[in-house]
Each structure stands twice: as C-alpha cells, then as structure tokens.
Structure 1
Amino acid sequence: MHSFSSAIRHVNLKALFSVIFLGSLCYYAGWLSRWPAPEDSALEWKDFEAKRITITVQAPQATVTVIPEAEEAVVLNGSPTDAFQDNLRHDVRYITTWPGTGFTNEAMSLMNLIYLAMLTERVPILPAFNPSHLSGGSPDTGEVVDTTFGEVFDVPRLAKELRMPILEWWQVKDRKSTTVDSLGCWNVWQATMEHSSGPQYSVMPRKLNIDISWTIAPKWVKLKPDAANEAHAKFTGLMALAFPEQRNRNLRTPSKSPLLGLSLPPNEQLLCFDNLYYTANVEGFEFERDYSTAWRLVGKHLHWNPRIEEIARGYVRRTFGLGVEATIPPYIAIHVRHGDFKGACHTPLDECFAPLSAIARRVNEVKEELQRLKDITAVHIILTSDETNITWWEEVAAYGWYRIDHSATASTYGAWYPVLIDTAIQSEGKGFVGTDRSTVSLIAGRRVKEWNDGVLRSVKWGKVGADNHQGRSKGAQG
C-alpha cells in the first residue's frame, strides 16, 4: 500500500490531464464526423464537409478534425428574377413590409420588421427608402430616386451581428422587371384603426410591380383593444399570424388587387404587412423606452454604411477647418426640428418653438456632464436643422455653433445625402441635444448613448417657457 501511494505521488498530473483531454477530443471529433445532416436543411452537409479544418496538437502528437460554423446560408435561388417568386427557395420562409413615411420612421419600421423576423424565424426582405419627404432630384427629370437600405446601412455587419440573413428587394426581384407579381398581405391598419378605409399607403409595391390583395387582420392583434384611437399592434399578435393555426383560423374575404383583380389570402411563404411602424409589446412608441426590444435587439446594431460614415466625417473636418486626415475632436450635436412641426403649433412660431437660449442651456448641461463624469472637454458644437429662416441661422452663428454647409451636397451625392450626412454626424457626437417628440432626435440620441456612451438632453416646445425647468428634460438618457 505504501509503494502504491508513493507511485501516485510521483505521477505527472499535468501529463495525465493532457492524455485525458486529447483522448476526449479525439472521441468528440469522431462523434462529430458521424453526426447526420439535419433533415430539410437549406444547407447541404457537403457544404460543411468542404470547410473542415485540421489542427495538429504537439506532445503527444494528434490530429483532430472539427467543423466550423457555416459562414452564410443560401436563402435565394440566385440572381434577381423578373418574378420574385422564381427567386424564393421552397425551404425558406420570408417576411416583408411596406412603409411609407419619412426616412427615420421608415428605418424604425424596418427595425420592427427584422425583430418580427426573429420572432417568426423568417428571412426579412427590406424595401428601399421612399423619398416622399425630399425634393430637388435629378436635373433631367426632377425625380428623387429611392435609396436602398444597404446604401444607407451596413447590411453585412448587421447580418453578422444578428447571426441571421438579411435580404433587400433588389436582390430578390430585378429592378428593371416589368412583370406584375400578385401577393396576398395582411392589412393591420384597418384592424387597429377601425374607421380607416384601407391599409396604410405605400408606393413601394407599385414601384416593384407587386399587385397586392389585402386581408384585414383580426382585431385581437391590436395592442389596446378598447382604445379607439390606438394604432399600435402587438408583436406577438402579428407573430401568431405567421403560423398556420392562427393564420387559417382568421382568414376572411380578401380585397381585390388593384391591377389583376385577384382575391388572394395572405401568402404563407412570404408573410407581409402594410406597415409595422405602429408595433409594440407593452405600450405605444416603445422606442422611447429603455426596454425597447426592437432597439436593443436590432436598432443598436444598425450602423451606417462605411461610405456614409466617411463622407460625414469629411464634412465635419471641413466644418471645423481640419485637415483631411486630422482626428475629429469630441463634439456635441444638436438637432432642431421645425419644418413639419409648425402644424402642431397653436401659438405664433416664435412662442411655440424653443428659443436658442433654452437650447444653449441644455448644451451647457451636456458640456458640464461630459467634463464631470467622463473628463471630456467638448468645445465644438454642431447644429443640424430643417429651419430655413436666415435670421435664425445668424443667431445660431452668434452662439459660436457650427453649421454643416450643404450647398453642394445634393448636386454632388444626391438628394438623400443632406439628411443622411446630418443623421450620421448626429450619431457620432459625444453629447446630443434633441427636439422633444421628434423621432429623428429620438433615434439619434439612442445611437449616441449606445455607440458613444454619450450624454443626452431633449428640449421641450409648444408654448412659451415649455423648457424653462431645471435638471434633465423628460426622456433624457444621459
């Protein structure tokens, strides 16, 4: 017994552990090589076989074969086709929507679409952004063309971070196609807004030559069934319609499509809804809340296309008088929205909109907090706005704040780019001061907070002295 105990004490435990580990690894590798391909998989097992990696481990020598994760799933038959159905794989399910509002609201609708794609385990197909709010297009036609989702946002990065495929409509259907496709979609707007006469309008189906037959969704998709003027639908309600049980249970007579006169039930392979902007889990306008699922799971991963980023940084350098390779100093961005908000004013505009003195007070709060909490000195202030009054801009200059010169932007890059450059510049600030009730300010602030750990404030408006209060404004997330 004494000699056995002595032998155990002299065993090299490190070597023993190595032998056990390598033996287990070899066994696991052999088990992997025998594992069968999943049934009905969109990826062939031979795709994995081609990606085997051989690793050599020294002392003692062993060769182990492992199978890495597949790089990319194949979710289309190939190049864009004249009829979109010809490009859809029979073993893949898809989902799309048809937004028809301003740029930021459309981006939020598509964040909701991607989140709903997660819930339904479908591949989202993203339409282009419609320039309904832009003017000053092509010198020849005066038309502002659509801009694709991928021209604005970094789709490969988004797909990688979400670990799911992301498609755009131009990848599915040829942009030059004149083929009219028929499609059945769910009409959510009439389910939530009982007095509406049809689905929310979008020009995108017409531009894609897709002829839609609408089926009004069941009333239970509504977030608050007893609220007469509540437009929001529940994510879980729309999710349920993606599956046969609830879909079949809630079918009703579809409307006739405008071009071909067809009455089609909602398509099972390509699930589609009229507009997903008004979609939530618990309460309306959840992008304003810290728990927002669409923001946390999708929106924060939606970074700018690198080209947009570089153009925006070039504008900032020129605005600050810096060289083309100079480091951009920390700055505070301001977004003042006036344009379409004039319609919400019930007093003269100079009494309705917050004065620049109120905005300056919020800027100073952000400066102080950046210095105190983060040891960041931000002396550069950039103000972006849709205001056109020259006198107002002269007052902005008197504060020493910078303004982006867009005099040649549209002619150089296109009519979309003043908006895209401004929003990209807003998102790179170390601090941000926005306009209360503006979705542009809301999403810019969320980007600054998420991407830069920035400091935020929001300026109230609507009456004289609306922002005359101390401390943080409601909704500030700094």
Structure 2
Amino acid sequence: MSRPFPRSPQSTFFFGTLALVVLLSLLFLAVGKGSTDGVLPTFLRSSNGRFSSPSAMVLKGEMEGLNWPSRLMEDQFYFIAGAGGGVTNQVVTLANMIYIALLSSRVPIVPSIYGYAGQLGGPLVTSPLLDLPFSSMFDLPRLFDHLHREHGLAGIIEWKDLVNVTKGDAYDKWNATSDWVDISCWNAFVPPFQDPMRTHRLNPTFSPLPPPTTPPRGGISIPTLTSYLHPDSPIIQPYLQAINGTVASLPSTKIACVDNLYYASVSIFVSNEWAGEAGFEVGAWPAVGRHMHWNPELRARGETVRRWLFGVSEWEEPVDFISVHIRHGDFLGSCPLSTPDSDIVPLCRSSDQYAYAVASMQSAILRQTGKTIKEVFVATDETDALFLHELTVVRRWKLVDEQLSLRIRRDWGDWHPTLIDKVLLSMGKGFVGTYSSTMSIASARRVEDWNGGPPSIYVNRNSPVGDDVPL
C-alpha cells in the first residue's frame, strides 16, 4: 500500500521535481548500468583481481588516540545509521543504508549486527552476545567489488575497522578500546531510535528530519532523504539555519547520521518493496540486497550442514530441496483468535497449509524445469513438540533440531544456528514462507534471484489446504 507524504503547496513543485530526478537515479541503479569510473588502482588489488580492503581508499591507516573520526578522509563524506530489531530486520536496514549512501555520494559506515539469546533460537546462549561484523555474515569484498565497478562507490567501512576490537568472528563491544563519540543525527522516529547507536559507543543528539520525510513511524521516502543527505544539497542549509538554536547540536555534513532506516523505501512500504510488489524492480533489494552474498566460509558451513541433514557425502552431488520458513509469531498473529498459545485453534498448530504450498511449489518447479523435487528443508522458531513431530516424522521434512543446533554452536559459535538456517533457506530450488515475515521475504528473494526459483508462496490463515493441488 502506498504511503503518501503530504507536502505544503509551496514545496510541492520543487520536491516533486527533485524526487523525480532522484527516482530516475534509482531506476538507473536498479537496472545495473555500469560506471566507467569504478576501476581500482593496481596496488589496491589482491591476487584474485579484487581489492585488499573495501575501506582502503576511504580510511586512514592508523587511529590517532582513541578518536576514530580522526581516521576519516578529508575529501570524503560518510553515512551512519542505527539498525534494530531481529537479525533480518537489521540486514534490511543495512542494505537500505548502503543504498542511500550510494545515492547520496557518501561512504557507509556499517554497524555490526547485534543479537540476543531469545532472538537466535535454540538453547540459551552466553549473554551478553558478541556483535557480528557485517563481513562475518556477507561477502563484503564481493559486494563492494560490484558496487564500486557498477556505481563508483568509493568504499565501505565496517565498525570493527574503526575500533579494531574483535574476538573470533565477532565484535566485542563490551571491551572496545575507542572513546565514546558525540554525534549529531537526524531522527526519522519519534522519539528517536537511539539504542543501536549507543551499543557502538555513539552518544547521539537528534534533530527532526524536514517534512515530508517523517510521517509517524509510517516510512521514510528514500528519494527525499537522499536529496537532504547529499553533500551538495541546496535545500538542507536553509532548514539547518531555521532550526539552529532549537536543537542541541546541528547534524553534521561530514558524517550524516539517521537513527533508523528499516522503514525506508522508494515507492511502497518496505516489506512490500522487498517482496517485489512495486510492479517493477526498485529500491535497495535489486541495487544492494541481491548482491549481499554469504561470507564464503559461512556458505561452506551451510553446505556441510546440508550434507549432514540429507545424508550425502562430500563426494556426492548435494540434494536439491524446497525451502520452508514457518515463523511462529507471524503465523499465530494471523490466526482468528487472540488467545494464549495453549488455547490456540488447531489451524495454527497445523502444517497442512504449508504442505499444500509445498505441493504447489513442487508442481511449479516441475513445470519450469521438468524436475521433481521431493526433499524439504524447514526452518522454524516453533517449539511445540507435536508440531515439530508432524514436520519431521509425519512429513519427513528436515530441520536443524536441538541436538544439531548444539553441535553447530559448539563447533562454530553462538551465532551459527540462526545463520545456518538462513543459508540453508537460500539454497532451495523453490521457497514457501510465512506471510508478513521479513525473514521469509528476504529468503524468498534469494531463492528467486540466486537460484532461479519460481515465484515464492507465502502462507497465511486463508491459504488453501487439501489434496487438490493445481498441476
């Protein structure tokens, strides 16, 4: 559903024209037209033809004392945003952040992904949980190589590049050596969404974004926001002069900062835009998210678990399967009765609708490829023993159970059970998910775009059940 942003009559023409120009830029990015400027100097390239570091050209080599802003280059402009919520919500936010940085000619400073025991599923994990650098989850050199070559992005900085405190694959914010840094930000939320920034030792003060960017928790217009954040923006200075004296500190031009960008989108609400419902490919997914491939080591670990689940040796061809994501909260939230879990209607504890959707996906794959896919991998945060028995024993679908989760956590760390689920979901030849789940939407796009899967199927309380599956 579109979310219009009302404008005053005096600014309608100007903002409309400006938004149109930026929108055309977005479409340019979405179709992937190349840039002739994105060629890295030879001395920055590694033996595989890529570069030594995504931050090599935008960050000074040594920290002067404990003040990381001193490492920023004089001829560059930077962008920081907070990311909150579940892991996939943070991933969407970071993709939006990189996209907006790309459009506004800034270098993104990408925060680490934070988690907590209840979010990651399985047995309780150590608390506090170490944050996960972006590059421990995604192939950052591959992403930057694409964005630099195609769109001329100057660099990407990770938070761990600034504070230089890591423990294995994780960022140890609890023992970081950097000082707290005061930073002046724009707030898209009311009140400002500041907790993620404070976990990275940022002490933010906030100024409200100019209208029409900030309808109450309703979304952020990426074209309009980009027009404000561009270093050469002709329209932000009058606004800064207008609010001078009414806020604690005016936002910086050098380091632009926004409290949260999860609800940022180009044309329609963010989850619908990521799901491809805009009618054409637009926004952060085609420009950035599609190119956020897994960290190679994480991908290899996912392949290992895939072989464990389906009983295939490393010398055999991996088994093809359909991916299913059943999210407890979103599925139960769509049920007709708002009652405690113990009293929920049987429909909400049944996998019949998912089974029907899987059969429909099998038919779609058969029509598209001529192949019959029998195996199913399911990821779920559901803990009900009867429901899990129905999935694994009655339907014989594979999942990472508690015993395997413990093994994964023991071998690779607390983050890996949830990461492996995401990697395995992305390996499917077709995808069935839960309606309105951000994790389902992101997994669906990976299966469709990376593997050529048919259009994904999302299950809700109105989805069909039965044996009459269309062929």
- TM superposition score category, shorter chain reference: 0.7 to 0.9
Larger relative contact order (Cα-Cα within 8 Å, sequence gap ≥ 6): 2
> Relative to structure 1, is the Cα distance of residues 390 and 234 closer, same or farther in structure 2, using a 3 angstrom cutoff?
same
Preserved contact between residue 300 and residue 450 of structure 1 (Cα < 8 Å): yes
Q: Hey, what does 1:200 align to over in structure 2? A: 193
Aligned: 1:212 with 2:211 = no
Q: Deviations over 1:215-252 (max 9, x none)?
A: 11112114xx6xxx561111122112224532222222
- Measured after TM superposition, the shift of residue 211 of structure 1 is 1.1
Aligned: 1:402 with 2:398 = yes
Aligned: 1:232 with 2:225 = no
Preserved contact between residue 330 and residue 437 of structure 2 (Cα < 8 Å): no
Aligned: 1:455 with 2:438 = no
Aligned: 1:93 with 2:88 = no
Q: Hey, what does 2:3 align to over in structure 1? A: none
Q: Deviations over 1:167-199 (max 9, x none)?
A: 111112344224121111101113xxxxxxx21
Query: For structure 1, which segment, 173-182 or 292-301, has the greater mean C-alpha deviation from structure 2 after superposition?
Result: 173-182
> Relative to structure 1, is the Cα distance of residues 232 and 470 closer, same or farther in structure 2, using a 3 angstrom cutoff?
farther
> Relative to structure 1, is the Cα distance of residues 160 and 469 closer, same or farther in structure 2, using a 3 angstrom cutoff?
farther
1:311-460 aligned at under 5 Å gives the runs 311-339=301-329, 342=332, 345-347=335-337, 348-351=343-346, 353=348, 355-396=350-391, 397-404=393-400, 405-460=404-459
> Relative to structure 1, is the Cα distance of residues 332 and 239 closer, same or farther in structure 2, using a 3 angstrom cutoff?
same
Q: Deviations over 1:48-82 (max 9, x none)?
A: 6989xxxxxxxxxxxxxxxx999976110114552
The gaps in structure 1 that reach 5 residues or longer are 1-40, 52-67, 191-197, 257-262, 474-478
Aligned: 1:245 with 2:224 = no
Preserved contact between residue 324 and residue 425 of structure 2 (Cα < 8 Å): yes
Preserved contact between residue 186 and residue 274 of structure 1 (Cα < 8 Å): yes
> Relative to structure 1, is the Cα distance of residues 378 and 199 closer, same or farther in structure 2, using a 3 angstrom cutoff?
same
> Relative to structure 1, is the Cα distance of residues 304 and 80 closer, same or farther in structure 2, using a 3 angstrom cutoff?
farther
Q: Hey, what does 1:78 align to over in structure 2? A: 61
Query: RMSD over aligned Cα, in angstroms?
Result: 3.1
Aligned counterparts of 1:304 and 1:424: Cα–Cα separation in 2 = 7
Q: Identify the match of residue 286 of structure 2 among 285, 296, 300.
A: 296
> Relative to structure 1, is the Cα distance of residues 143 and 118 closer, same or farther in structure 2, using a 3 angstrom cutoff?
same
Aligned counterparts of 2:321 and 2:123: Cα–Cα separation in 1 = 32
Preserved contact between residue 299 and residue 423 of structure 2 (Cα < 8 Å): yes
> Relative to structure 1, is the Cα distance of residues 422 and 134 closer, same or farther in structure 2, using a 3 angstrom cutoff?
closer
Preserved contact between residue 433 and residue 459 of structure 2 (Cα < 8 Å): no
Preserved contact between residue 187 and residue 216 of structure 1 (Cα < 8 Å): yes
Preserved contact between residue 109 and residue 276 of structure 1 (Cα < 8 Å): yes
Aligned counterparts of 2:356 and 2:263: Cα–Cα separation in 1 = 33
> Relative to structure 1, is the Cα distance of residues 158 and 80 closer, same or farther in structure 2, using a 3 angstrom cutoff?
farther
1:4-83 aligned at under 5 Å gives the runs 74-80=57-63, 82-83=66-67
Aligned: 1:287 with 2:277 = no
Aligned counterparts of 2:344 and 2:444: Cα–Cα separation in 1 = 25
Identity score, percent: 27
> Relative to structure 1, is the Cα distance of residues 155 and 131 closer, same or farther in structure 2, using a 3 angstrom cutoff?
same
3-state secondary structure, aligned to 2:226: helix
Preserved contact between residue 215 and residue 253 of structure 1 (Cα < 8 Å): no
Aligned counterparts of 2:352 and 2:410: Cα–Cα separation in 1 = 34
Residue 278 of structure 1 aligns with an amino acid whose one-letter code is Y
The gaps in structure 2 that reach 5 residues or longer are 1-36, 166-175, 338-342
- Measured after TM superposition, the shift of residue 145 of structure 1 is 1.0
- Measured after TM superposition, the shift of residue 131 of structure 1 is 0.6
Q: Deviations over 1:16-75 (max 9, x none)?
A: xxxxxxxxxxxxxxxxxxxxxxxxx9x9xxx96989xxxxxxxxxxxxxxxx99997611
Aligned counterparts of 1:169 and 1:189: Cα–Cα separation in 2 = 23
- Measured after TM superposition, the shift of residue 264 of structure 1 is 1.8
Aligned counterparts of 1:392 and 1:312: Cα–Cα separation in 2 = 25
Which structure has the larger Rg over C-alpha atoms?
1
Preserved contact between residue 110 and residue 126 of structure 1 (Cα < 8 Å): yes
Residue 300 of structure 1 aligns with an amino acid whose one-letter code is R
Q: Hey, what does 1:106 align to over in structure 2? A: 90
Aligned counterparts of 2:204 and 2:246: Cα–Cα separation in 1 = 9
> Relative to structure 1, is the Cα distance of residues 287 and 459 closer, same or farther in structure 2, using a 3 angstrom cutoff?
closer
Aligned counterparts of 1:130 and 1:48: Cα–Cα separation in 2 = 34
Aligned counterparts of 2:104 and 2:91: Cα–Cα separation in 1 = 20
Preserved contact between residue 405 and residue 417 of structure 2 (Cα < 8 Å): yes
3-state secondary structure, aligned to 2:114: coil
Query: For structure 1, which segment, 369-378 or 351-360, has the greater mean C-alpha deviation from structure 2 after superposition?
Result: 351-360
Residue 375 of structure 1 aligns with an amino acid whose one-letter code is G
Aligned counterparts of 1:159 and 1:298: Cα–Cα separation in 2 = 10
Aligned counterparts of 1:95 and 1:328: Cα–Cα separation in 2 = 41
Q: Deviations over 1:240-280 (max 9, x none)?
A: 22245322222225887xxxxxx221111111100001011
Aligned counterparts of 1:126 and 1:247: Cα–Cα separation in 2 = 24
Aligned counterparts of 1:293 and 1:455: Cα–Cα separation in 2 = 21
Aligned counterparts of 2:434 and 2:85: Cα–Cα separation in 1 = 19
Residue 94 of structure 2 aligns with an amino acid whose one-letter code is L
Aligned counterparts of 1:180 and 1:128: Cα–Cα separation in 2 = 16
Residue 301 of structure 1 aligns with an amino acid whose one-letter code is H
Q: Identify the match of residue 116 of structure 1 among 76, 90, 100.
A: 100
Q: Hey, what does 2:253 align to over in structure 1? A: 268
Aligned counterparts of 1:351 and 1:138: Cα–Cα separation in 2 = 29
> Relative to structure 1, is the Cα distance of residues 322 and 188 closer, same or farther in structure 2, using a 3 angstrom cutoff?
same
Aligned counterparts of 1:294 and 1:186: Cα–Cα separation in 2 = 20
Aligned counterparts of 2:108 and 2:469: Cα–Cα separation in 1 = 38
Q: Hey, what does 1:154 align to over in structure 2? A: 139
Aligned residues between the structures: 392
3-state secondary structure, aligned to 1:316: helix
Aligned counterparts of 1:449 and 1:249: Cα–Cα separation in 2 = 45
Q: Identify the match of residue 221 of structure 1 among 175, 188, 213.
A: 213
Q: Hey, what does 2:297 align to over in structure 1? A: 307
Residue 275 of structure 1 aligns with an amino acid whose one-letter code is N
Aligned counterparts of 1:318 and 1:70: Cα–Cα separation in 2 = 35
Residue 309 of structure 1 aligns with an amino acid whose one-letter code is R
Aligned counterparts of 2:284 and 2:200: Cα–Cα separation in 1 = 27
